[in-house]
Structure 1
Amino acid sequence: MTRISRDELAQHIAADIPEGAYVNLGIGAPTLIANYLPAELEIILHTENGLLGMGPAPAPDRVDPDLINAGKQPVTALPGAAYFHHADSFGMMRGGHLDICVLGAFQVSSTGDLANWSTGAPGAIPAVGGAMDLAIGAKEVFVMTDLLGKSGESKLVKSCSYPLTGVGCVSRVYTDHAVFDVTSRGFRVRQLFGDNTVAGLEELTGLDLQGKD
């Protein structure tokens, strides 16, 4: 089956973010989206360590060690950017001031539950960060993830078996095989990549999916 790269997936997500949106990009793969946002559109990126107006990753010779995102990666600041206290940043997240956040995931359930901070395995290192605040505070939660885990298990599930980050919070899931909307009837295939089919995705996930080939 067709799989697209993370950079290609980041481009798809960037194209779906409307002008004027205030957006938080989660740690890891979602940070790639900043590199593909159209320069002609005003999309304001927020990072929970205290920056509003974050730009794309800098060129290697333009790195400012004082300018980093929540994942400690170097970033740029666009004209008009603002810096503020960590507590104020979380106030923005919890207060419903973000239009969209894009997070990674271990699992997403057919009802939009999100598990992305721990597998619950003995000795697993939890990584909560601001994910719980974003999951309940953002107006829309997009997930960016591979469809299958390292062992071949589907990350789209009927119900999550890992500890939850948020309940019923995810509206759309972008994967390397297809894009899915979360609806009242479960996952609906929004976009297929390459020669993938709904039937093929049902076989991979073990789920009944809405959508047409």
Structure 2
Amino acid sequence: MTPWTRAQMAARVAADIPEGWAVNLGIGIPTLVADHIPAEHEVVLHSENGLLGMGPAPDAEHANPWLINAGKQPVTLRPGGSFFHHADSFAMIRGGHIDLCVLGAFEVAANGDIANWATSENDSAPAVGGAMDLAAGAKHVWVVMEHTTRDGAAKLVERCSYPLTAAGVVGRVYTNLAVLDVVPGEGFRVRELAPGVTPELLAERTGAPVLPAEAPQGTVQADALRNGAPQGPRA
């Protein structure tokens, strides 16, 4: 078994983003997605601290301490990019202008619930923050995370045990073991397995039903466009 690295997980997400989408990248693994979007691919990256048109991370020599994403990491701007007040940024989110938000998570439930801000009532996190606005305002929500905790506990579950960020919003999950679609009322449907990962191993490490992959329907990009293009409130 050869699980995907975090960079490979981010690249897999980037490969599925349809041309022309406005995309917010959450803190953690999602920020790596910016490094894997080809320059010729028209995807407009948004950050809730007030950036539109982000590019890949700069090298250390060209990092600008005043140009950062929501995780306080140095970023670049593509030609035509802009920065603005965070109130305007949240107006974009709450106004439904973000096609896709890519978030990290502690848990994702089989019905699309997401828990990504606290692991208990006594967690040190002060509040849910912008993730709640993003989960509620973006047209589509994808999650990218490790498949299990460091202790081997499942992070894809029947029901979240941690405080929810939002209910029933996640449409797709990318982990180091697989890419899966959320099928409410049924479980997680396999889209792709990492090298060497068997359906049996995936089911063993998932705390909810795992549905077999459907018949191939074309290339990754064509499949993403068919199944991910905005046609309703969620993917």
TM-score tier by shorter-chain length is over 0.9
- Between the aligned partners of 2:123 and 2:101, the Cα distance in structure 1 is 29
Uncovered stretches (5+) of structure 2, i.e. residues with no partner: 215-235
1:4 aligns with 2:4: yes
Give % identity: 58
In structure 1, the partner of 2:135 is 135
The residue number in structure 1 matching 2:85 is: 85
Cα distance, 1:121 vs structure 2:
5.0
Q: Counterparts of 1:161-200 in structure 2 under 5 Å?
A: 161-184=161-184, 185-200=186-201
- The two structures, once aligned, show a CA RMSD in angstroms of 1.4
TM-score normalised according to structure 1 size: 0.96
Provide the C-alpha distance between the structure 2 equivalents of 1:161 and 1:108, rounded to a whole number of angstroms.
Answer: 10
Counting matched residue pairs gives 213
- For residue 13 of structure 1, what is the aligned residue in structure 2? 13
Change (3 A) 1:204 1:37: same
Q: Which amino acid aligns with 1:199?
A: E
- 1:73 corresponds in structure 2 to 73
Matched residues in 2 for 1:124 and 1:138: separation? 26
**TM-score in terms of structure 2 length:** 0.87
Contact 2:113/2:167 (CA < 8 Å) preserved in 1? yes
Q: Determine the C-alpha separation between the residues in 1 that align with 2:171 and 2:42.
A: 23
State the alpha-carbon separation in 1 of the partners of residues 52 and 207 from structure 2.
41
Look up the SS of the partner of 2:32 in the other structure. helix
1:119-173 superposed Cα distances (whole Å, 9 cap, x missing partner): 0153443452310001011111010100001211000000001000000000000
Cα distance in 2, alignment partners of residues 95 and 154 from structure 1: 34
Tell me which moved more, 107-116 or 73-82. 73-82
1:22 paired residue number: 22
1:38 deviates by: 1.2
Whole-angstrom distance in 2 between the partners of 1:186 and 1:94: 29
Runs ≥4 residues deviating over 4 A: none
Residues 106/61 of structure 1: CA separation in 2 closer, same or farther (3 Å cut) = same
**2:229 maps to what in 1?**
none
Alpha-carbon offset, residue 92 of structure 1: 0.7
Partner of 1:203: 204
SS of the residue 1:168 aligns to: coil
Secondary structure of 1:205's match?
coil
Query: Which secondary structure does the structure 1 equivalent of 2:205 belong to?
Result: helix
2:87 and 2:119 mapped to 1: Cα distance? 28
Alignment of 1:32-181 (within 5 A): 32-126=32-126, 128-181=128-181
After TM superposition, the structure 1 stretch with the greater mean CA deviation from structure 2, 85-94 or 106-115, is: 85-94
State the secondary structure of the residue aligned to 2:159. Answer: coil
Residue 188 to residue 123, structure 1, CA distance change in 2 (3 Å): closer
